[in-house]
Every structure is written in structure tokens, then in C-alpha cells.
Structure 1
Amino acid sequence: MSRTHTHPLPWYMDVSPGSGGLPPRSWYAGSDAGRMSLNGDWRFRLSPTASAEDASFAQSGFDASGWGTVAVPGHWVLQGAGGAPAYTNVVYPFPVDPPLVPTENPTGDHLLTFDLPTGWPEGGECVLRFDGVESAARVWLNGEELGDFKGSRLPHEFAVGGVVRAEGNVLAVRVHQWSSGSYLEDQDQWWLPGIFRDITLLHRPDGAPRDFFVHAGYDHRAGTGTLRVECDGADGRVLVPGLGVDVATDEAVTVPVEPWTAETPRLYDGELVTAGERIPLRIGFRTVAVEDGVVKVNGRRVLFRGVNRHEFHPETGRTVDAHTMRRDLVLMKRHNINAVRTSHYPPHPAFLDLCDELGLWVIDECDLETHGFVDLEWRNNPVDDERWTPALLDRAARMVERDKNHASVIIWSLGNECGSGRGLTAMAEWVKGRDPDRLVHYEGDLSCKDVDLYSRMYPTHAEVELIGKRAEDPWSDPALDARRRAMPFIMCEYGHAMGNGPGGLSEYQRLFEQYERCQGGFVWEWIDHGIAHPEHGFAYGGDFGEELHDGNFVCDGLLFPDRTPSPGLIEYKKVVEPVRIEAGTSAGTVRIVNGYDFADLGHLEFVWSHEVDGELRASGPLTVPGLAPKAQTEVALPEGGEGVWTVRAVLAEDAAWAGRGHVVAWGQPAVGAVVPAAAAVGSRPEAADGGIVLGGGVFDAATGALVRLGDVPVQALRLDVWRAPTDNDNGAAWQPDERYGLRWRELGLHRMRHRIDAVEVGEDSLTVRTWVAPAGVDTGLRTEYRWTADGERLGLTVSVAPEGEWRVPLPRLGIRFGLPAAYGGARWFGGGPGEAYPDTRAASMLGRWEMSVDAMQTPYVRPQENGARADVRWAELTDGDGAGVRAGGGTPFWFSARRWTSEQLDTAGHRPDLVAGETVWVHLDHALQGIGSQSCGPGVLPEYRLDAAETAFSFVFSPVG
């Protein structure tokens, strides 16, 4: 500890994990023993400090009629009961002086009066269980102190059989926002105090087990499972009717079984029967091991298509109900996600029941992170201070004991971003001793001395390839280096899903599939943590007046806060789809590749469709054999012809997470040749009413600006190179790559000036020569607009030549123009239905799409560049009567439209800041800069960088309707 303390510390500041509690044990949803939920409305009083340790409120007869109420489970700061949420990523929101915490320590006193239900069993013991309290709690029942605890996202139980009574029980809980435990819970999330998980009173009958441990291994060679159930504190029998099993506890039995995997989550219903209690079991047989440097389950290499998941709800914080948990997992399964890392703490235990049932691999992570010590060069880091080791071991034990009976949990994680230290080694040794049948993970120590697999966060693609070849940079210790090189590799975090992005997922996936050692990763993260807010829509760091905060870094998920999938999730689904559908080696064929680790293709049907210019010509079923995992075949398409061929793999029957017909994978093995818009030439420009008329276009004679196309007014058509920087454009301060969003702004690309050098009327064209550059520099773009026409059709060729020294890429290169607000309907033939960018376009399906301009916007919590559609051949903007403007390209282009300018988008801090104006701003882009994931990961790959170069591109415009 960093200071000398002359007085004994109060309990909430000492380094012990708690006092008075029972040893940890397994969690299970129910049995025939009595249980009573104590969730509901509790009396509540908030004090600004923890100095008053007066326990008079815990006594029977205390008058709390003047107190308010809060819902339990819940966070008082989200219920208007005082205080406010605060978000930090790394920095502690209090002075770092472990284990001391500030005097300003919001303290919530909770009171509940309850009677036992009619028929509550007599005899035996009663246990009071807390599943989650942040950050420390002291507990009394009927005036008797039961004890205290720390470990916010872990279970704590107290024996209360000698205290609880039939009527008039008074349960009192004092919760401190800050405690010594807060130093172990710096987990990149909102600081949200309160009793946020369930409180339950459990009857423990005489003869009931104290705990049990289900061991269910699988021998893939013999096709058999071996079951043994350890039972602590009672003798009993284990019954599994579906397998004909009836054996004594602690006795092993081997029988033929179907194994459990994330793809085929076979669970057998069983029962642990003792003299005092019958406990339902759901048993999944599987074996996990590292063999030949690869993680294998049931003898096969697995590829993790994973996400990190914080528990979060925009209104209730870390209080997440069962419906929302199931909704999360159903969404994961529907988007081809097969694994979850429970960042950075064990989830509500019911979540793991759902993972068992629906089928996901789980890395279960301990409630431990000390990231705030990194900027102090890890001085006084608790994980390297032996005085904290009992607290660390307590946290490891509470995780393992609670969750040890879940088939889905195949890896234990010691915690996150804690540096290195003796405490982690002690945790690893304890975990391996208690449960040698699972693997141990920890990313923060690159020596990998305590773990079974090599894990990294946000390595570049180039580094991942080196790791795949087992050729990464050596570790200083030759023995540890050799040990690490022999390990399997995963990325416990990658693909930072903050705002628009992440880019580069496809390139990572190719490496996972190419190198056996690279076994996938876990995208950071599942959901944006935006808190519902009456003014901001969804609030992020700083919106509650926090002294220290990390802004919208808390909004970095594949779901928006309301659980709407973001374009990033749609992209991820496509990138990790378990079936590849590609063009075959000969014309008119399609290659089907089964990328599942365990399942054949018997659960899928394949259907094809044929479209020409976006119009459906024919469709039907495609016969594909039930390929074994990793097998492939080529199948002939049913007929020839130009156009777009799409093949989809869909569920053949209803599943627990989606109905029949749900699309698992798709491909477009043939998309036809791109037919450029026919040139618009032949008409002569003419002077008329102070302007210039060329075909269907009317131009300002002085500036050469297009002011009307047919009957549609047009404003400010000109070269555009600016976009409202994305979170990934802005990057993170610790990233070594260039942060292009800042560089663009330094150069002045957000305030380009357009100088007209010449307006030249020719025999068959109108040419406008301009200089486009930011103020204060001699770097710019020599730009020429050449207009031609054939009747009503109007052609435009834009030629761009950079001058001066361009040290940064361009955000975009195209044209922007405005139409009246009435033209708010969009239709296009190109990629869709959602947004895409050069390195986020895997999920862009070529077809004909139609939606409103409003629907084209992607509602990122912090507004930024969004909404581009890829590979567009033509696009239309129309009014309610179907009249408007059509644009076609000489080559496929990028199309977006919105009711505000990029500049207005750039200045908005929250969604409500964007107010629709009187203009629809249309972007037709020849090229776009990629997205990358530099908000926390690598920047844009070189092939997606838009460097300034001499370029020409063209469009053809025509009236519609």
C-alpha cells in the first residue's frame, strides 16, 4: 500500500474480500427447495459520505416512512434517487491511494420488511443470497449484523436460519459506492452503484447438498460421454433418464452420447437426488484441450466468431432482465456469432444457462481490472501486492464455483488489463487446481506464464499473420518464448466497433481461416452503453457533469443502445458466416464451402434468385449435398443468362433462435458486367434569360453553376472532399498510426474554398475551371467540370489534379449538391440495403433498393459520416409524385443523401442536434477513404487509403417522372 495509515481502516477500505459469508457454490435456477425473491421496491436513503456507521436503521421498529424508494435490483443513480452515472475507461474517478477511497462516498441505505410465504418449510437452514452489489455492502437481518462483502459482480451468501422469522423480517443493506474493491473494478464502463442483481432467500433442507460439480467429458473417438457428479455435504444419486443413467454421486459412468458444441448444443435433462433436495441438471458432454498448439473441443479445432459483452440496458444499466438476456443471445445466433467473452466480469448467472441452451462458447472472465494503474507505471498495483491476494483468490473462487456446471464455459479468464503480478499467478494456480478440465486465459501478461493460450488485443493484420506463422517478435525469456510460440492464439478484443465501422474485419477473417494457430477473436463490443436521456437521446461520458470522463468511448458496440443492429453487426454476420457461397471454377457454377466446425449442412436449404437490373426474373431451390464440416462442392446454377445471381443458405427448420427461412449465409456468384451510362453528348449550349441552357440543364452564366435540371432546382453542385470524421477517423491518442480526422482538420479540409478561374462555353460543352483549397496553405485541387448534353440528359465529367504537397489522404472524392426538401425518396441499383465503405462492404448486396432519405441515415450515438451505399450504377431522388432526378455513373459510385450538410453533421454531439433543413444534400462519390478501427485498433489498411492523385470521373443526370 502506498501510504502509512495510523488508524485501523473501516471495513469498506480494508483489502479483505468480506466477512461473515458462506463459501461460494454453484448457482442453479431452481429445485424443490423453497425460495423467495426479495426483489421489489425497497425503502432508500442516500448519504453523501460513508462516515456515519450508525446501524440504527437496521433495527426493527425504525421509522423509514420519510425515506424514498428504489427498485431492487437497480442502480439508485438511474432512478432519480441521487447522484449520477459517471464513465471512465482507464482513469479512476478518485485519487489513486489504495486501498483508500474519498470521504465523498455516496452511501445508500436500503430497507425491506417481509414475511415468509405461507408454507415455508420448517427446519434446515436458510441462506440469503446477493447476486450483485456495487461496490461494497454491509448486511443486517432483524438487527443482527450478518457480515459484509466486496466483489460487485459476484455472488455472496449468508446463513440466516437462526435469524429469519415468519413475519416482520427487516432486511437492511448499506451500500457504499466506493470501497477498496473499486480498485479491482476499473472495467471501462459506467460507475453505477446499487443492488443491481437479484436478492433471494433460499431454504436449505436437511440432507441437501452444500454444493455439487458436474463433470461431463466426451471421447470423440469412442462417441461416449463420461459423467461424474461430485456432491459435497450429502449422498445422493444422479438420474439421466434419456441415457438410462442411475448412479451414485461421485461414481463415474460412460455411455454413448451426442456431444455438446456451440453449433449442436445437445443438453441432457438429469437430476441430482439427495435426501433433502432434488436439483434439475442440464448436462452437456464436451472436452476442451490444447493439442498440437490448437484449442480443440471434442477433438476438433474451433474458430471463435466472438463478441465481448458487458451487461447493459439503456434505462436500467447493469440490471438486465431475462427477456433482454435471451434477446441478446438470439441476436448473436442470428448474426452467426458463436462465442462470448463476458467482459470484464461474470454475467448474471442466468445468462450462462441461455448460452448452454442456445449454444455459444464462453470465456468467463473474473471480476477484476486495475487498468487505472497503467499511467502510474503500475506502481502499487494490487495484483502484485500479496496483501490483496486473498481478495483476488476470493474473486476467482466465486466465479469458478458459481459457473462450473455450464457446458458453454470452456475458458476461465483471470481478469482484464491488470498488468502482471504474483496475485494473478496465485489465481491461475488455484483455478487449474480446482478445474483442470478447462483452459485459463489472461491477456495482460505477454509472457503467458500463467495461461494456456496466447491472447492479444487489437494487433495489426501484419502482426496476426506473423503470429499465425509462429514467427512473432521473441519474448525476452527463451523458455517462455518457446512456450508461447507453441500456444494457440486468439484476439480477446479486436474490431473496435465504435461509431462507423469497424473496418478490416474481412482481412482478419482470412487470416483466421488461413492459419491454424489463429483461432478467431472477440469484437469489442456487443452494445453501445448510451444511457437514455431526455435531451441527448442517449448520453455518454461527460453528459452527467463528470469531472473525469472518456466521452463516447463507452459507445463502441455492434448494437445501438436500443438493441437495434448497427451496420457493423450486419457486416460481421457476413464476414463470419459459416457457409461460403462463391463463384465456381467454371461459368454457371457456384462453390459451396462448409465452414462449420462440427455441423454438416443438413440443417440448411439453399435457394437461388436471378435478377436483371434489379428486377427478379426467376428463383427456386438449389440442391446441395449435406457437406461435412470443412468440405466443399461445386453446383451448377439452373440456367444461364446475364444479370445478378444470388444464392442463400437458410434454415430448413425452426431453430430455438430463428424460424425456418432465416438467412444464415449468402453469396452472389455472378453479378454481370457493369454497363456504364451512355454518354450524353450532341446538344449545344445556348444563352437564355441571363443564364446558359444546355440540354435539360440551366446554368448561371457568371459562375457556370447548375441551377436547374428539368423542373428540379439544384444548388451548390461542386467538388466535395470532406466528411464528418468518424470515431475511427479521429483515432485514439495512444495509437501509433496517423489520426486522419485530426490531420484533415489541421489541413483545413473541412473549410475548403472554391475559386472560379474560368467559365468557357464551347460548341457542345460548358467547362468551368476552379481551384479548390483550404485557406492558409498552398495545397489544393485543380478541378474542372465539363458539362455536355443530349436532349434532357446532362453529362458531367470532373477532372481533379492535386497540387502542392499532400501528406494525408482525402476523406472522399466526389460531388455534392442540394435538392429541395420534397425530394426525399431514394431508389438505386447498387449495394444495399445498408451502408458500406471500402473496408466494410462485405454485407453490401447488389440489387435494386428503395427507401426514404431519412431511412438511409445510420443513427450513431455521436453523429458522424454514415449512410454511403456502394457499387451504385444509378440513383434517383424523387418527391411524393415520383418526379425528381436520376444520376448514372461512368463507373460504379458511392451514393448517400441526407437532410443536413457534412459540416452540420460534424458539429453535432448527439442525435437530437441534427435538425432537418430545407435541402436534401446528395453525395455522388468516385472514391471514399476506408474506415479502419483506429478508435482503439489499427488504422486503415493501405489498399483502402484514398491518396490524392490525378483523377477523372463522370455522371449522367436526367429528370425522372
Structure 2
Amino acid sequence: MHHPPPSGTLPYYEDVSPSTGALPPRAWWAVSDARRVNLGGAWRFRLSGSAAAEDDAFARPGYDASGWDVLPVPSHWPLHGHGSPAYTNVRYPFPVDPPRVPTENPTGDHLRMFDLPDDWPGGAALLRFDGVDSCARVWLNGAELGTFKGSRLPVEFEVGELLSPRGNVLAVRVHQWSSGSYLEDQDMWWLPGIFRDVTLIERPEGAVTDFFVHCGYDHTTGTGTLRVDCEPQGTVTVPELGLDIPTGEPVIVPVEPWSAELPRLYDAELATEGERIPLRIGFRTVAVEDGVLKVNGRRILFRGVNRHEFDPDHGRVADMETMRRDLLLMKRHNINAVRTSHYPPHPAFLELCDEIGLWVVDECDLETHGFEVVGWRGNPVDDERWTPALLDRAARMVERDKNHPSVVMWSLGNECGTGRGLSAMAAWIRRRDAARPIHYEGDRSCADVDVYSRMYADHAETELIGRRSEPPLADAESDRRRRDMPFVLCEYAHAMGNGPGGLSEYQRIFETYERCQGGFVWEWIDHGLRRTAEDGTPYYAYGGDFGEELHDGNFVCDGLVFPDRTASPGLVEYKKVIEPVRLVGDSGRGIVTVTNCFDFADLSGLTFRWSYEEGGTAGDGGQLVVPPLGPGESAEVELPRLPRTTTAVEAWWTVRAVLAEDTAWAPAGHEVAWTQFASVLEWGGRAVAHRGRRHAPRLAEGGLIVLGPGTFDAATGVLRYLDGSPVQGPELDVWRAPVDNDRGTPRHPDGQLERLWRESGLHRMRHRAERVSLGDETLTVVTRVAPAASDIALRAVYSWAATGGRLRLDVLVAPEGDWPLPLPRLGVRLGLCPTLDTATWYGGGPGEAYPDTRAASRIGRYTSGVDALQTPYVRPQENGARADVRWAELRRADGSGVRVEGAPAFWLTVRPWSTRALDAARHTHELRREDTLWVHLDHALHGVGSHACGPEVLPAFRLRAAPASFSFTFSTLGAADGQADPAEVAEPLPAPEPTTAHGGSDDQNASDREIS
């Protein structure tokens, strides 16, 4: 075992002790009647390349720093032109030699001059730092206050006797690397600096030193227990409850409980001789009972996310507006829980969680993941010399955040392996706060925790755990104890790029098995840093874009929102999957079943609306009367009786649950849940059919074939013109620009689909026309599509026919050879005029969907500009497919364009650049509009999964190479054409010629004229 040298033989930034000179940790409160001075703003700044490059003369009053740069505080200096950010996931970006750090240790000297307010009363005062990365040494007016580590945790110093009315000099030396860096190997950018508030706080005589609000709720009696421990003694008043009690004394009173769904808070005040502090008290009890995690006596289900603090311009500098924006976005997308990965957040964030209503797993600022690379040798959490630093971090988290009802679990940290230090942390936390369970994922024995937590357990294993039938531990007692615990996926559904897939299947497991109490999607936000290309185009940078020696690429971009906090398709999908009201329609019986899936709230706050559409055209609508069902209750509600339809188009019911009134997080009318289901129609009339003569194909000059509105290349059989407009294709297409999840992980090489696809040549398929033949009314083209250096292939038979101005393509596809891999896609690709810049379609929308991410796709008629059809993933990849499309029209500004109808319904993707360009791009600004609009009409797509870190695509969503048939009908639209009447359907065109499985004709009809 590698041990650090004894304390005292190393400089403070390498010493394993946590701090010197700091006061004991205590609770955080935002305001009181004691004075505060915010010391943020413009500071003088000097960057050195090492910790010893400069002496400490800058800390003395009178030092001339006028030649230094100016840096805003809070900030990270690499984001202001001083050095560069760096991203690693697991590996330390310095030699693993604990607790030593490199001589090359960027060190930022910060200077702030300030005066006290004219009415500052003097006396005791505290200087508080809420976050400094990673180690700091502090002086005030030339006197050294101390040193500290623990980047995402607060520290306070007593400074009252050092203050002057004018000309105070605050000096802070910050080192990027320290012994603390070994405890802060979280998956994020390495960004040093003073990145949270710096505050001077008056401490009048008799002011509050610390306080602890103990609030419990007894669900059997409806009463709450309140006791506020305070030093010094004081009083607590809760006007709404008629309470005016001494601190330290418990009281039992009828109350309304706090929960994430109903975040009931009571305004209160804590008063001592020297200070008055406004409180917001929430009554709730957290317990593990009968193997289930309960709040206020009820099982809860986490519909959660992991949340790093991040801003694309400011890094981990968080302001109130951004924090509130995050929480409103979460609530509006049905998210009810946050794991503060992997450190305590800005303290105000928890106050917002109390107010708006989210469950919080508060995680300590601790991760030693990089020791896994060296076999966990020297891991600090299993070295007693580091235990004081671990206990310091646990105490600073618990003491700061102990008064928040939203915090329902403490987490010891993340990805630290196992060790005695974790046990010491857990024991200390239990002594200090026995009212909250303890979480930690990294120890499968669950020796120190109250819940069994895992990350990225796949669906099958999660279901076994739900049944309490997972493989046993070797130690029988540990196995029994763990099997009796509730189960939480602290990370799952890795939201990197296009995805995550499989959310619906996870949610089914959570709702089926009482033990499975949900989880936290990894993660909330893409950590892309905003940059501008040479031509002025903005984009987001990721690992490797700053010249890092070691980096993990775009693995830092794995969130449900883009860096600018725009919702990704993954967040829209997650909202639908976790919606807290289940709606199931049955048009045959004329009812919709409504089930309340909330844990505490009834449905009185929701209004239920129905609408009826035929062929994408809005029909009737109205309101359903739904009883105020309690949690877990269901009811069948009758749908209105509508007049019998007289059209031959499909019709759909949509039922929506929306907020009845404004809430703290969304306005009235905000949609919480919805369902859509097909109507059972009684056809009352005969459909109008397109009629026209059937065309015969003919040879034309220039090596062309003409069939109705289509002109084909006689040698290849490829369509070249449609009604005179140039067309490229359509031709069979199987390749997609791989999504992040196609890359897989090195731990599971068999799941690295991108590598396997490229090794098989699927990105460079070649097309050989084997036969082009003309029948009386059809043109048949047989093509073999295959990669070089392989004997696998796809045999494609294209059968073309024309009626009137409509051109129909029937495609038969059959695989040849041994296909061990799924296909990325199966369909046809064609190139059209780039002036077609608007798409209208009837099918799934409004956003993108893939086979395992389609829960949020609903049938309707949609219109979008082509640019808006693209999803701007930070690393470009396959995106933008619309599911279940019946027909689509692509139009120019004058209304002219092309219409495509599919049988069966198809996947539509429209792009102003090719798949090849999308595949090659590494950032969004590298994509440039081409002189062709590329249209993908796919019969089937491979799912996306979440295998960048999580499970592979589930078997049901893998696209197996197998025989397939599908059809498309093309026609042009004139400038004066309106959208097609949905009541009109095409007269069936001739069926394709019969073929064998391998794609050749069974019988070479004598009337066919072979061209090649």
C-alpha cells in the first residue's frame, strides 16, 4: 500500500489535512438581519505556472497590483483567457503519486480591495468562501487566515479584529492541483478558481452560531414534530401554526406535510439575542421500512436526474436565475428528484428545491475514480491518513445542508471503490443526523448504506433485483441485509447524444416491483463550452479541443439538455415516459382509463381535455370530467359520442392532462401527461380515388427510360428526373452517421457497433445493377449492394410503375451471406433540389424519434423548416428521424415541390447535408449546406440504446438483416397546389413482379426487355 509522507513534511497544498484556521462548519442561511457584504466583482489577478513561482508579498497592504489583469469573481480563470480547460472522465491529468502534485501547478493570485459600509457596526465578523477549486491560502490585511481544500464546500474564517473601515486588502492564492485533487476526480472539466460567492458576514453579540431544524411527520395522526436546536438559545415562531417556542423544546402540532409533489412550507423565524433568521420549515419523515424507502409513510418513486452545475460560458459558476431555470425545466418535464453529482450544489439550489419541490440526494464532494486505473493502489478512502479529510468533507456537507426538507438522503460520494474512510464517514453522519438514509453506490456489499444503489444495471438485472432474486453475495449475512434494502439506480439511461433508448422498459420495471424505486438519468446537461469558429459560427467545445494531453472527448456531453439548456429529444422522451398520470384509451368501449401515479398528490390540480382528429385535421374537442383520484387510484371515464365519420381516413383520439391553475413551476394549461389512440371507424362513404391511365415504360434518347413522370438511367435503372426536376436516387441505404451509443464502451467490445460496422464496410457499400428490364407497365431493377472485401450483400429489387402523375416504387430486399451484425438502417436515400426548404408530413412528431425513443411521438400533421428538423447534438451524429410517416411533402417558397407516400408508414429524415458529411463532422459548425437536399425514407431503423455507458439496444429494437418489402409513391406539386385532401387515397398500383428470396425473377416474362 502506498502511503503519503507524514503530515508536516509537505507544503500545505500537498498535505492531506483538510484545512488550517477555519471555523467549525455550520448551517447555511441566505439572509438574516445581520449585515453582509458581497465581495464578488472585479478582482486583480496574476497567474503563475507553479505554486512557488511567487512569494507572498502580494498579500501585504500597499502592494501595487495595478499591472495585474482584472478577473471577475466568482469565475474560473481558464475561461477568461488564463490557461485552458481540460476534460477527463476517470484518469487524473497528473501522475498518480498521492498526495504529491506536479511542479507545473497553475496558481492564481487574487486581490480584492474593499471598504466597509459606513454603518458597519464593528465587532465579530466571518469571511465565507462557498467554493474554491482546489486549494486556497487566504490573507486579510496582511494577516494569514489559513488554508483550505474541498472545492465544492464552504469554509469560514473569523476576521472581525482584522477589519478596517477603509482599504481592506483580501488576498487569496489558489492552486489548481493539491492533495484535494485526488479526492475530486469527478467526471467534469478541470476548472480552477474562486467560482462561488465570497461574503463578509457580521456576527453581532448573541448571533446564531449554528442551528438544526428537526421536523418529522406522523402520517397516521397527521401531526408534525418540530424542534430547533440552536446555539445560543433563542425562540422559534411559526405564526401559521400559532407557535412561539423556545429552541431545544419539541412540539407536536397538526400540519400539512412537505413532499416533492406538494412542497408545503411554513414561514417561521428563529430569533436569538443578536440575530433574526427567517426560516421555511417543511414537515416530512424519511425511513426505510419493510425493504422500501418511504417518505411520510408512502413509497416514493424517483423520476430523477443527475445534475452537475454547469454553464457553457461560466463553467461551474451558478447564479440564481440559472438554478431556478434548471428546476423549472425539470418540473415541467415531470422530473421529481436530483442527485447532486458529485458534490454539494450551490447552497441556494437546495433552497429552491425546498420551494419548488424536488427530492434531493445530496452527494459529498468526493470521487477517487482515477485510482481504478492503477488497481485502486493508494486509494485515499482506504488509507487512514486521509480519513480526517474525508470526515471534514462529510461534516461540511451535512452541517451546511441539514435544514432542507428536500434533502432525503446523504451520499458519501461517487466511484471511490471501498475503504475504511467511507465507513468512518457513514458512522459520523449517522451520529449527526439519524433521520436520513445514507447512499453510496461503489460498494456492492452495501456495508455502510441504507439503500442498494447501482449504476447502469441493464433491464434484465434490474428486474432480477426487483424480484429480490439477484445473484447472492458470498457472505450470507451481507446478502440478507442487501436483499432487504430498497433499490435505486443512481445512474442509468446514459443521455449521450442521440438517446437514451430503453426508458419505457426501465419505467415498467420501476412501476412493477416495489423494491425498484426509480433512478437518476445520467445526466442533466451537456458540458459543452461555447466557442466561435473563425467564420464567426458558434459551436460547443469538448475534451481534446484545448490541447489536453489526456482527454475523454465528447463524453462530457451526455445530458438531457444542450449546453444552452434547450431541451433535447431525450428530455421530451423522458417526460413522456415518467408522466405521473397514466392514460389508456379504448375507443372500442368508448372509455379512457385514468390512473394517478403520483406518490402524494390527488388529481384535483389537473384538467383533462380530449380532441379528435381525422387524417391530421382537427375535429371536435372538449373537457373530460375526471374524479380527483388519490395516489394509485384509477377510474374509467367515458369518451363523448361523436357523429359517425364519413371519410376513409384514420382518426385519432388525444387525451391530455394539463394544469388547472398556475403553479410555482408552470402556468395553467401546461401539459403533464397525454395519450393518443386510434378511433374505431364505421366507414360511411366511399373514398375518392386518384384515377389515370397506367403508363408503359419506353426507351428514350440519351440512354434513358421514361415511365410516366419518371426518367431513369437505362444502364443503372436509377431515377434521374421526376417531372423534369433532377433527382439522385432513390437507392438502398443502410448506413447512418454513428450515434455516441453506437461507439459502445471498451469494456464491452462486442457492443461497439460503430467499430464492427466499419470493419464490415457498412459505411462504404457499393451498388451493382444486375438487371434492368421493362415490362408492359413496370420497370424492374435488380441491384446487389455490398461492401468491398466481404461476401455479405443485400439483394434489392426495385419495381417501378406509374399512374397519372404518380410514380410508385416497390422494394424487395433480401440479405445474402452471414450477417452477424444488425443494420444501422434499411430504406432508400434520394437527393432533391436544395430549394425545397419546408417539410409537411402526416405521422409522428413533432420531434425526432427512433425505435426505442418513440414514446413522445404523436400522430398529427406537422410543418417545419428543414433546418429545424436537425437536432444539434454537440458531436454531430444520426438525428432528426420522424416516425410513422404516412405521407410527406417538401416544398419551396412558391409552394411547388415533391410528395411522398409510404406503405407501410415509414421513417422520414431530411437533411441539407449528406450522411458522409454528418459522419465526418466533429462539431456542428463543420456542417455546411450542400447543393443537394438529402431525404431518407426508411422502412426500419436500428435503435439507439444508451451503450456509450449503459445497456446496449434491447433485442426488440435491433434491426436484423432479414427479407423486407416496402413501397413509396412520388409525385410533384405545382406552385398552386394545396395540401392533398386527406380523404383522397390512391388507386392501387400494379404489384411488383414476383421474385425469389434472392431477388431474381422466377419467370423471365417474354415481354420483359432487359436493358442490362
TM-score computed with the length of structure 1 as normaliser: 0.98
Distance 1:599 1:840 in 2: 28
Matched, 1:688 2:700: yes
| 1:736 Cα deviation from its structure 2 partner | 5.8
Tell whether the 8 Å contact from 1:680 to 1:789 is kept in structure 2 after alignment.
no
- Who is 2:38 aligned against? 37
Q: Which residue pairs with 1:70 in the alignment? A: 71
Structure 2 distance, partners of 1:737, 1:192, is 35
Q: Counterpart in 1 of 2:1007?
A: none
Give 1:686 deviation, angstroms: 2.2
Instruction: Measure the CA separation in 1 of the matches of 2:911 and 2:693.
Output: 31
Say whether 1:895 aligns with 2:903: no
- Residue 396 of structure 2 corresponds to 398
* Per-residue Cα deviation, 1:726-783 (whole angstroms, up to 9, x for no partner): 0001112123652111111110110100011111011110011111000111111111
SS in 1 for 2:49: strand
Moved more, 143-152 or 733-742: 733-742
Percent identity, aligned pairs only, is 66
Shift of 1:882: 1.3
Q: Deviations over 1:440-465 (max 9, x none)?
A: 00000000010000000001100000
Q: Does 1:856 align with 2:869?
A: yes
Alpha-carbon contact 1:904-1:914 (below 8 Å) kept: yes
Q: What secondary structure, in the 3-state scheme, does the structure 1 residue paired with 2:604 have?
A: helix
Q: Distance in 1 between matches of 2:590 and 2:889?
A: 32
Quote the residue 1:612 is aligned against. Answer: 614
- Secondary structure of the residue aligned to 2:570 is helix
Q: Which amino acid aligns with 2:674?
A: W
CA distance in 1, matches of 2:132, 2:693: 73
Contact 2:694/2:803 (8 A) holds in 1:
yes
Quick check: 2:691–2:804 contact (8 Å CA) kept in 1? no
Determine the structure 2 residue equivalent to 1:249: 247
- The residue type paired with residue 643 of structure 1 is A
2:428 aligned with 1:427: no
Residue type of the partner of 1:917?
E
SS of residue paired to 2:864: strand
| CA apart distance, 1:76 | 0.5
Q: Is this contact kept in 2: 1:712–1:885, CA < 8 A? A: no
Tell me, in whole angstroms, the C-alpha distance in 2 between the residues paired with 1:836 and 1:306.
Answer: 22
1:117 corresponding residue in structure 2: 117
Say if 2:675 is the partner of 1:646: no
User: In structure 1, what is the Cα distance between the partners aligned to 2:55 and 2:72?
Assistant: 24
Q: Structure 1, unaligned stretches of length 5 or more?
A: none
| Residues 699-714 of structure 1: pairs in structure 2 closer than 5 A | 699-714=712-727
RMSD: 1.5
Residue aligning to 1:468: 466
Which string of whole-angstrom CA distances, capped at 9 and with x for unpartnered residues, describes residues 800-854 of structure 1?
1111111101000000000011011101000000000000000001100000111
Look up the match of 1:10. Answer: 11
Please show how residues 111-510 of structure 1 align to structure 2 within 5 Å.
111-123=111-123, 125-232=124-231, 234-510=232-508
TM-score of the two chains, using structure 2 as the length reference: 0.93
Aligned counterpart, 2:671:
663
Q: Which amino acid aligns with 2:946?
A: S
Asked if the contact 1:448/1:484 (under 8 Å) is kept, the reply is yes
Distance (Å, rounded) in 2 between the aligned partners of 1:156 and 1:414? 19
- The residue identity in structure 1 corresponding to 2:285 is T
Match of 2:49 in 1: 48
**Contact preservation (8 Å) 1:593, 1:630:** yes
- Secondary structure of residue in 2 paired with 1:396: helix
Q: Say how many residue pairs are matched.
A: 958
Kept in 1: contact 2:3–2:378 (CA 8 A): no
1:679 shift after superposition = 11
Match of 1:537 in 2: 539
Q: Does structure 1 conserve the Cα–Cα contact (< 8 Å) formed by 2:175 and 2:192?
A: yes
User: 1:680: Cα distance to partner?
Assistant: 9.6
Distance (Å, rounded) in 2 between the aligned partners of 1:672 and 1:718: 37
Give the deviation of 1:695 after TM superposition.
1.7
- When structure 1 is superposed on structure 2, of 180-189 and 661-670 the one drifting more is 661-670
Aligned to 1:595: 597
Cα distance in 1 for residues equivalent to 2:688 and 2:380: 65
Cα distance in 2 for residues equivalent to 1:28 and 1:77: 30
Residue aligned with 2:388, SS: helix
Q: Is the Cα contact below 8 Å between 2:587 and 2:680 reproduced in 1?
A: no
* Unaligned 5+ runs, structure 2: 975-1012
Task: Give the Cα separation in 1 of the matches to 2:491 and 2:916.
Answer: 33
2:381–2:390 contact (8 Å) kept in structure 1: yes
Confirm or deny that 1:956 pairs with 2:954. Answer: no
What does residue 721 of structure 1 align with? 734
SS of 1:905 mapped into structure 2: helix
State the Cα distance separating 1:544 from its structure 2 match.
0.2
Preserved CA contact (<8 Å) 1:681 1:764: no
The farther-off stretch of 706-715 and 843-852 is 706-715
The 1:680–1:459 alpha-carbon spacing in structure 2 relative to 1, beyond 3 Å, is farther
Aligned equivalents of 2:889 and 2:798: distance in 1? 21
SS of the residue 2:868 aligns to: coil
Q: Are the aligned partners of 1:737 and 1:939 in contact in 2 as well (CA < 8 Å)?
A: no
- Between the aligned partners of 1:876 and 1:580, the Cα distance in structure 2 is 34
**Quick check: 1:878 aligned with 2:891?**
yes
Q: Do 2:260 and 2:336's aligned partners in 1 also have CA atoms closer than 8 Å? A: yes
Which stretch shows the higher mean deviation, 575-584 or 925-934?
A: 575-584
Distance 2:944 2:815 in 1: 23
Aligned AA (2:291): G
Query: Aligned pair 1:919/2:925, yes or no?
Result: no
Distance 1:37 1:681 in 2: 82
Q: Which runs of 4+ in 1 moved over 4 A?
A: 3-7, 671-681
Contact 1:240 1:269 in 2 (8 A): yes
Which secondary structure state, in structure 1, belongs to the residue aligned with residue 795 of structure 2?
strand
Classify the secondary structure of the residue corresponding to 1:374: helix
Could you tell me how far 1:194 is from its partner in structure 2?
0.2
1-structure distance, mates of 2:787, 2:278:
71
Aligned equivalents of 1:769, 1:682: Cα separation in 2:
22
Taking the aligned partners of 1:681 and 1:530, their CA distance within structure 2 comes to 57
Matched letter for residue 541 of structure 2: A
Aligned ranges for residues 808-819 of structure 1 at < 5 Å? 808-819=821-832
Q: Distance in 2 between the 1:112 and 1:905 partners? A: 49
Give the 3-state SS of the residue equivalent to 1:105 in structure 2: coil
